[in-house]
Chain A
Amino acid sequence: MSDQQPNGLQPAEATRSEPAFTPPTDIVETTAGVQMVLDMPGADPDTLDVTLDNRVLRISARSQSSGPDGYALVHAEYRDGSYERSFTVSEPIDVGRIEAVLKDGVLRLTLPKAAPSPAAKINVKAD
């Protein structure tokens, strides 16, 4: 699995002025499948979008504003924005059994590997 790189292309521009963050990701592969863990603090589960299209896995979500009413921001170390990241999946994945769980700001994706197609025996006819 690798980060999808638009080779030689200009990166797409954002339509919103808010920043788009790349969530830090752990990727662990076992014989059964691929486990991905993404840190997305503040991400709204309703806006979370995970798609697998043509071997490109795309994850996006928007974070909710955490600003309390009647208070003024005096010190900021993080900002609200959207999360976006896409990966190219090299293994064939069983699309129907993909699981995504967003809990406490951490997205856990389980991508089970597709069962290998049984080896086909090809009969050779000799003339």
Chain B
Amino acid sequence: MLHNLDNTGRGFDPVRQMRFAQRDMSRLFDNLRVAAPPEFPPMNVWAGSDGAVVTAEIPGVVPEELDIAVHQNTVTLRGRRTAQPPADDAVVHRQERITGAFARNLVLPFRVDGDRVKATFRNGVLRLDLPRPEADKPHKITVSRI
């Protein structure tokens, strides 16, 4: 490839030098990735031998209004944090809390037994117990000597 030759010899090609510089810059910015903003709600996932436990921090949400759906290996969590409209004479000094609808999907590396999923809500933290179906659990095979 001609343009990959080093710029040696007597001839100095400024156009080629610029092309090299451009390529170097493109490579530099190609590796740059802007970190994704954190999703709401923040979730922790715990794994065990008989399933997984997912905990999510969703303060101020009415647990009865949460929409939790389990389909095969996907868990979907939907909800809404309602904002209280301030009174007429109110002055808002700070508004830092997130409001609005949220939804998160979680794909697990195993199927979930939808009938035995348990959801508990305590102090603003939702805990989902996602057990694996009995038929899907790994079987221990004993080796017999002949």
Contact = CB atoms under 8 A, between A and B. Distances in A.
A75 B53 CA distance: 11
B123 A43 contact: yes
Interface in B64-103: 86-87, 89-98
Which of B53, B86, B98, B123 has the most A CB atoms < 10 Å from its CB?
B123
B21 interface: no
Contacts of B43: 75, 77-78
A70 interface: yes
A41 B44 CA distance: 13
Interface string A41-64: 111110000000000000000001
Given A71-B53, A104-B59, A104-B61, A26 B46 contact: no
A76 B122 CA distance: 19
B89 A31 contact: yes
- Secondary structure at the A interface, as helix, strand, loop or mixed, is loop
A50 B10 CA distance: 78
Interface in A1-41: 1, 24-31, 37, 39-41
Interface in B41-63: 42-49, 52-53, 55, 57-63
B111 interface: no
A35 to B, nearest CB: 8
A104 B123 contact: yes
Nearest to B99: A26
A26 B94 contact: yes
B89 A30 contact: yes
Interface of A: 1, 24-31, 37, 39-45, 64, 66-68, 70-78, 104-106
Interface of B: 38-39, 42-49, 52-53, 55, 57-63, 86-87, 89-98, 121, 123-125, 127, 129
Given A41-B125, A105-B58, 17 more contacts: A1-B94, A26-B94, A28-B93, A29-B90, A39-B60, A44-B123, A68-B48, A71-B46, A71-B48, A72-B46, A73-B44, A73-B45, A74-B45, A75-B44, A77-B38, A104-B61, A104-B123
